[in-house]
Amino acid sequence: MLALETIELTKDYRLGFWRNRVKRALDRLNFRVEAGEVFGLLGPNGAGKTTTLKLLFRLIFPTSGTARILGKPLEDISVRFRVAYLPENPSFYEHLTAEEFLNYVASLFGLSATERRRRLGELIEQLGLSASRHVPLRRFSKGMIQRLGIAQALINDPDLVFLDEPMSGLDPLGRREVREVILRLKERQKTVFFSTHILADAETLCGRVAVLHHGRLQGCGELNTILRLGVSTTELVVEGPSAEVLAELMPYTSSLVRTGERVRLEIPEESQVQRTLEIILRSRAKLISVNPVRRSLEDYFLQKVGASESSQEVASVYDSS
Amino acid sequence: MRVATIALHTFKESVREKVLYNLVAFALLLIGTAILFGSISVGVEQIILITLGLTSISVFGLLIAIFIGIDLVSKEIERRTIYNILSKPVSRPEFILGKYLGLLFTLLVNTAIMTVGFYAALFYQKRALLLDDLRFLGAVYFILLELAMVVGIAVVFSCISTPVLSAVYTFCLYVIGNFSADLRAFGQETQNALLGTLCDVLYYLLPNFGNFNVITQVAHAEKIPGYLWLGNSLYALLYIAALLGMAVLIFEEREFR
């Protein structure tokens, strides 16, 4: 079952005094998120991640295209009973305490007093806000605000959770807590859709990702598939190879670094790994390690972003006239 | 239900505004000084107290309506707290209506406090309160209707403009609304047909607050005519409905970047 589907979702902003300049913030975005998966929307700042999320919650309206959340059109706000949203750098009513604010949010969902108390107690405990539940929000640190933001998003026990840069501005401890919350949601078969520019978070949490740049989708797919795309190298460490053996290995290596007795070789072609291993094993050299070097998401990201930047096609600002 | 939740939240938020307490305290102080003014006005002590007391309620109610009303929507946008609310199962009309009713409730409570202060001052001066003194509540009711319209205007401007400009526009419209009968009279006097029609259109479009001021009548123990009760109530209700409808239409189209 699809949790989210965007169909040619496009957003233009009109700029300038006469509003005659158009900036395309999102360009015909198409992707699907399956129920129960953790999906990451990646991209550098200004890529269109927040725009996408604001469109999904109708805080802004699409210029063209549409999307469906849990099979319902965006205009149908009844679906909001089953979804949650944490905006980027959330801001709450400073005069309220954490408990008062969560109570207010729970009331908007029409939760009964008993249910409210139960959910509130659970979330406050889960997100480590017990000690500060009666403290006005103006005294909250950024990390505490972020945790409260997650608590308010989860108050209705949603099936689909949208988190906009949930780790932004958090210290390592705070990031770990947020990661744990996302993993707990995953364990409970909830769908999590989060935007981030922190690739390590996506690598740790996401099953599938979509990469955005200049408002355009650069790629979308299983994280493992994306990581395996293109050339992956294999790193071999050999001790005491003779000059003849090294000469024999040279045609298969892209890099050869000697450190004392040891030599580190990089084999770019997977098909040549077997051949190089045979050469090493039949010599007197000692094979220390064989490591397939996975292509990191960062490499993929930089390649995609680089390709997009070099493309003249992406004319994000143009005159409407 | 969600409208009531938002209204209650708005009420709780607005009663924490320090400006509110300053204004109410100042209004009560002014009502208190009306006793002093009354005591130096031989023969018209009560009229002075009633006029000054009820005018204080009206003026300070207006200031409260403007100062808090203009912030209602714009503050939520400026502080981005609106993202959290509109991403919940809350429609935009529900949000506007909840905000409006919350502020109206704030005004109701404040006007009640000022009215109690007014009656206390009256009791102090007369050493007694009679059943007939309840007639002043008629003037207070009309003041409340007027304030309910002012809050509606403030909400409309709050949806489209900055707080400062919203305050200026609302105040200007309030002043114009007090002279709309003169605008119509001017239109009838003028020889220019186009200008006459324009004045007529403006007369019907702009709020007409002229009929809501019955302070002088009640101060002089004159009865408020029945048609004014009904007419003012209906007029205020329809005008508020139109204002809220306009606010909702504007707000429905608003984007929060």
Interface test mutation site (partner B, options A23, A77, A137, A157, max chain B beta carbons within 10 A):
A77
pLDDT > 50? residue A162: yes
pLDDT tens column, A166-182: 988 788 888 888 899 99
Cβ contacts of residue B78 below 8 Å, gap of 6+?
A: none
Closest C-alpha to A197, from A127, A293, A297: A297
| Contact: A110, B2; criterion CB under 8 Å | yes
CA dihedral A281, A283, A288, A292 (to 10 degrees): -50
Closest chain A CA to residue B87: A57
Q: What is the pLDDT of residue A254?
A: 87
Closest chain A CA to residue B79: A91
The whole-number average pLDDT for the span B3-8 is 95
Is B252's Cβ below 8 Å from some Cβ in A? no
* Last residue in a domain, options A228, A245, A270: A228
pLDDT > 90? residue B49: no
Question: Domain holding A171: CATH number?
Answer: 3.40.50.300
* Number of domains making up chain A: 2
Same domain (yes/no): A261, A240: yes
Residue A269: φ, ψ to 5° = -95, 125
What's the mean pLDDT when you consider all of chain B?
89
pLDDT > 60? residue A320: no
The domain in which residue A218 lies consists of 2-82+158-228
Minimal C-alpha gap between A271 and chain B (Å)? 51
pLDDT > 60? residue A224: yes
Same domain (yes/no): A284, A195: no
Same domain (yes/no): A72, A167: yes
pLDDT tens column, A17-52: 888 899 999 999 999 999 999 999 988 888 899 999
| Contact: A57, B255; criterion CB under 8 Å | no
The domain in which residue B248 lies consists of 2-252
Q: What is the pLDDT of residue A85?
A: 95
Most confident of B126-130, B133-137, B245-249: B245-249
Chains A and B: how many Cβ contacts under 8 Å? 64
Record the tokens describing residue B129, joined without a space: 């309160």
| Contact: B81, A93; criterion CB under 8 Å | yes
pLDDT > 90? residue A156: yes
Q: Which residues on chain B are in Cβ contact (under 8 Å) with A54?
A: 256-257
What pLDDT band is residue A307 in, cutting at 50, 70 and 90?
low
Identity of residue A298:
E
Same domain (yes/no): A65, A166: yes
Instruction: Give domain status of residue A37, yes or no.
Output: yes
What pLDDT band is residue A142 in, cutting at 50, 70 and 90?
confident
Instruction: Give domain status of residue A252, yes or no.
Output: yes
Record the tokens describing residue B162, joined without a space: 């900055």
Nearest to A87 among B9, B84, B255 (CB): B84
Instruction: Give domain status of residue A203, yes or no.
Output: yes
pLDDT > 60? residue A315: no
What pLDDT band is residue A207 in, cutting at 50, 70 and 90?
confident
Q: What is the pLDDT of residue B99?
A: 94
Q: Which residues on chain A are in Cβ contact (under 8 Å) with B256?
A: 54, 59-60
Residue A68: count of CB within 10 angstroms of its CB: 18
Lowest mean pLDDT among A312-321, B184-193, B198-207: A312-321
Q: Which residues on chain B are in Cβ contact (under 8 Å) with A80?
A: 87-90
* Last residue in a domain, options A228, A244, A264: A228
Is B81's Cβ below 8 Å from some Cβ in A? yes
Instruction: Give domain status of residue A180, yes or no.
Output: yes
pLDDT > 70? residue B78: yes
Nearest to A59 among B6, B83, B90 (CB): B83
What pLDDT band is residue B18 in, cutting at 50, 70 and 90?
confident
Question: Domain holding A253: CATH number?
Answer: 3.30.70
Nearest to A91 among B13, B81, B256 (CB): B81
A314 against A206, higher pLDDT: A206
pLDDT > 90? residue B151: yes
pLDDT > 50? residue A318: no
Instruction: Give domain status of residue A7, yes or no.
Output: yes
pLDDT > 70? residue A298: no
* Number of domains making up chain B: 1
Closest C-alpha to B90, from A3, A172, A282, A80: A80
What pLDDT band is residue B22 in, cutting at 50, 70 and 90?
confident
What's the mean pLDDT when you consider all of chain A?
87
Same domain (yes/no): A168, A237: no
Closest chain B CA to residue A151: B84
The whole-number average pLDDT for the span A301-306 is 67
Same domain (yes/no): A71, A170: yes
Instruction: Give domain status of residue A55, yes or no.
Output: yes
Nearest to A87 among B1, B83, B89 (CB): B83
Q: What is the pLDDT of residue A270?
A: 81
Closest C-alpha to A123, from A135, A140, A105: A105
Minimal C-alpha gap between B1 and chain A (Å)? 8
What pLDDT band is residue A229 in, cutting at 50, 70 and 90?
low
A252 against A305, higher pLDDT: A252
Nearest to A77 among B5, B91, B257 (CB): B91
What pLDDT band is residue A317 in, cutting at 50, 70 and 90?
very low
Q: What is the pLDDT of residue A308?
A: 60
Q: Rounded distance, CA B74 to CA B82, Å?
A: 9
Nearest to A105 among B88, B91, B255 (CB): B88
Same domain (yes/no): A73, A170: yes
Minimal C-alpha gap between A179 and chain B (Å)? 22
Q: What is the pLDDT of residue A61?
A: 96
Instruction: Give domain status of residue A142, yes or no.
Output: no
Identity of residue B77:
I
Same domain (yes/no): A163, A272: no
Instruction: Give domain status of residue A101, yes or no.
Output: no
**What is each CA distance from A44 to A10, A165, A196, A213, A279, in whole angstroms?**
18, 11, 8, 7, 44
Same domain (yes/no): A162, A57: yes
Q: What is the pLDDT of residue A313?
A: 44
B32 against A139, higher pLDDT: A139
Record the tokens describing residue B24, joined without a space: 């109410």
pLDDT tens column, B154-173: 999 988 888 889 899 999 99
Cα atoms in the 13 Å half-sphere on the side-chain side of A65: 19
In this prediction, what percent of chain A has a pLDDT beyond 70? Answer: 89
pLDDT > 50? residue A321: no
Same domain (yes/no): A7, A29: yes
Cβ contacts of residue A207 below 8 Å, gap of 6+?
A: A37, A38, A39, A222, A223
Q: What is the DSSP string of A189-208?
A: T-EEEEEES-HHHHHHH-SE
Closest chain A CA to residue B15: A95
Record the tokens describing residue B156, joined without a space: 């409309």
pLDDT tens column, A285-297: 899 999 887 666 6
Q: What is the pLDDT of residue A227?
A: 60
pLDDT > 70? residue B246: yes
What pLDDT band is residue A316 in, cutting at 50, 70 and 90?
very low
A309 against B129, higher pLDDT: B129
Q: Rounded distance, CA A69 to CA A56, Å?
A: 8
Q: What is the DSSP string of A90-155?
A: ----TTSBHHHHHHHHHHHTT--HHHHHHHHHHHHHHTT-GGGTTSBGGG--HHHHHHHHHHHHHT
Instruction: Give domain status of residue B162, yes or no.
Output: yes
